Structures are given as C-alpha cells and as structure tokens.
C-alpha cells in the first residue's frame, strides 16, 4: 500500500512554547501508526530541532522544513540550505507551496533546483502543485497542474521520482473555508497519477503518495482520505488544533 500521510503545515504560527505544547498534546494521544502511515510536522525553522527531539522516539512520526534554498551554500543571507537541514537530521521538506509561489515568486525552474538539492541530501521533497480560482473557473486546471509537474519533476529519473511526495492544493480552497468536493479531489489526483504514469509507467505512478491540501479539517478528512487516489493530507489551520489534527491522523486509510 502507498504511504498514507498526515502532514501538518504550521506556516508562520506558534511561539516555541506553543509549538512544544501542541506537539505534546498530539503525541500524548499515543496514536499507533501502522507501517504504511506517517505523520509529519512541517514547523518553522527555529523549531526543527525541538520538534525532532519530541518525535524521534515515536514510530513513523517525522519533522519537515517548510522550505529550503535552491543553492548549495554561499552568500545568501537569511536562507537555509538542504545540506543544513540534513546536518540536523531532517528527512522531509515542503517545496513549492502556493504561498511561496505567490509571495516569493518561486518558479517551476527554481523548484526543480530545490528538488535536486533535497534528493542529493536524502531529504524527501513534499512537492506542492495546484491551480488558482481563475484557472479552475476557466476549466484549464488539468493542463495548468500538468505543466507544474512537467517543469519541476520530469527531469528526474524513475528511481528519484519514487522518492517524492506530491501535495495537490487547489489554491482557491486554502484558508478560504472552501474545500474541493471529494469527487473534485479524486478527479484531480487520478489525473495527476495518469500524468505520472504516462512519463514513468503505471507501476511507478502507483507508488507515489499524492496528498490533498485545501482546507482539510476533522469533519471532512475521512471522506477526502477515503478517495482511492488521495493518500492523506497537507493540513494548514486545522493542524494547529491538537484535537482536530488527532482526528485527521486517525482518518488515514
């Protein structure tokens, strides 16, 4: 079975103390994850080491960075490299979140460079893709998202593409309270898998976890995650509430 993943994206939220308390509350639920299930906390840079020490005794709980830079090292004040993340034992990194694309003008080409560096340092990229409202309303969401995959991922070998996690986030559903229906989510996830299959073959496409990331909450997670091509969620606001996120973890297939 493909990995089923509940990934928390804290974004720029929580003080150190609040983050520690939130992790303590979630971990105290003692959810025994099955072998094919993962829970990942994508926390702000200053909390990576704290979150890692909180989770390292827990089976299948991991910590992710929310970003890294597209250069190996050098005079890039304020940036964090994949090599730095590896040196503190971080195994996952979110790349290409719609907020990074929108506010920091991250291009598909830049994201391809970030992906390469993460893979070079044995960090699993959680690669985000998705369309804004005007594209969805124009009915061209499939070709829009396909281009994001092709321009950022399709230079990878079949061996490396299997190391990627994809998160589909309909941008019109992030933080707006709007959620894609489970039918819309399944339709897009199946399409993404078909695009991967065309390039890399069905067997490889079937191994890649594709998460849904658009206003996942405790009250819709079970329905979304029950879709055959939805392998969990990249969760924003609801991951900041321990009770909500515990319910979301328990909703994994």
Bind-site residues for substrate: 9-11, 175, 215, 236-237
Question: d(Cα 99, Cα 74) in Å, to the nearest integer?
Answer: 25
Which residues of the chain form beta strands (DSSP E)?
4-9, 37-42, 61-65, 92-95, 124-129, 165-168, 210-212, 232-235
Question: d(Cα 99, Cα 68) in Å, to the nearest integer?
Answer: 14
Question: d(Cα 238, Cα 56) in Å, to the nearest integer?
Answer: 23
User: Can you name the residues that pair with 184 across neighbouring β-strands?
Assistant: none
Measured N-to-C along each axis, helices 182-200 and 141-153 cross at an angle, to the nearest 10 degrees, of 40
**Catalytic annotation, pick one of 54, 99, 169, 244:** 169
**Catalytic annotation, pick one of 97, 99, 189, 244:** 97
Question: Which residue, chain included where needed, has tokens 């073959």?
Answer: 201
Residue 115, C-beta contacts closer than 8 angstroms, at least 6 positions apart: 95, 125, 127, 152, 153, 156, 164
Among this protein's residues, is 113 annotated catalytic? no
Among this protein's residues, is 36 annotated catalytic? no
Could you list the residues known to form a binding site, using ranges. 9-11, 175, 215, 236-237
Question: d(Cα 165, Cα 47) in Å, to the nearest integer?
Answer: 22
Catalytic residues: 97, 169
């Amino acid at each position: 079975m493909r990995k089923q993943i509940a990934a928390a994206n804290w974004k720029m939220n929580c003080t150190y103390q609040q983050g520690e308390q939130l992790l303590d509350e979630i971990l105290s639920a003692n959810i025994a994850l099955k072998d094919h299930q993962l829970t990942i906390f994508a926390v702000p840079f200053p909390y990576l080491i704290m979150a890692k020490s909180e989770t390292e005794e827990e089976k299948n709980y991991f910590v992710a960075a929310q970003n890294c830079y597209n250069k190996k090292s050098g005079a890039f004040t304020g940036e964090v490299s994949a090599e730095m993340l590896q040196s503190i034992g971080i195994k996952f990194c979110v790349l290409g979140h719609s907020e990074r694309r929108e506010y920091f003008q991250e291009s598909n080409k830049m994201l391809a460079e970030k992906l390469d560096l993460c893979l070079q340092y044995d960090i699993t990229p959680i690669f985000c893709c998705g369309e804004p409202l005007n594209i969805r309303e124009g009915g061209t969401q499939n070709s829009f998202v396909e281009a994001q995959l092709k321009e950022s991922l399709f230079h990878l070998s079949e061996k490396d593409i299997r190391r990627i996690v994809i998160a589909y986030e309909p941008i019109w559903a992030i933080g707006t309270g709007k959620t894609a229906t489970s039918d819309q989510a399944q339709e897009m996830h199946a399409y993404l898998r078909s695009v991967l299959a065309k390039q890399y073959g069905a067997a490889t496409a079937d191994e890649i976890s594709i998460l849904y990331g658009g206003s996942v909450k405790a009250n819709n997670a079970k329905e979304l995650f029950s879709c055959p091509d939805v392998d969990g969620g990249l969760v924003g606001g609801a991951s900041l509430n321990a009770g909500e996120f515990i319910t979301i973890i328990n909703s994994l297939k």
